[in-house]
Amino acid sequence: MAHSAGIATRLVLVVDDFDDTRELYATALASAGFDVAEAANGEEALERVAATRPAVVVMDLSMPVVDGWEATRRLKADPATAAIVVIALTGHSTSIGIEKARKAGADAVLGKPCLPDDLIALVHTLLPR
């Protein structure tokens, strides 16, 4: 796996509190050739990011423990993780929900449900070169 500035360039962390949703996206990303890690909430996501330094985090926003908005804010506030691309996946896909995700620091926002192929295409577009 290639690394640039400590970031695992093919690793995508999928964060969602629903196992089925997380597994759906993780399986699709893995079959598209990405290395995949998973987390079930924002706190777990922050721990996984610290341990693995993924290139992209696919972040559900409504989660227990630490929600996706707060986890995204923390990632973007830390110079060590600020460059990691965060794609917010949310059922809150109104303009207000999208704006809130962007204010938290999300690099892109996808409304749920979203097709795995749409997520894969967006990851390819945003992946650091």
Q: Which helix (H) or strand (E) holds 44?
A: helix 42-52
pLDDT tens readout for residues 51-106 = 999 999 999 998 889 999 999 999 999 999 999 999 999 886 677 878 888 999 99
Q: What is the pLDDT of residue 84?
A: 96
Residue 86's closest CA among 66, 113, 60?
Answer: 60
Q: What is the pLDDT of residue 92?
A: 66
Domains of the chain: 3-126 (3.40.50.2300)
pLDDT tens readout for residues 4-26 = 445 667 899 999 999 999 999 99
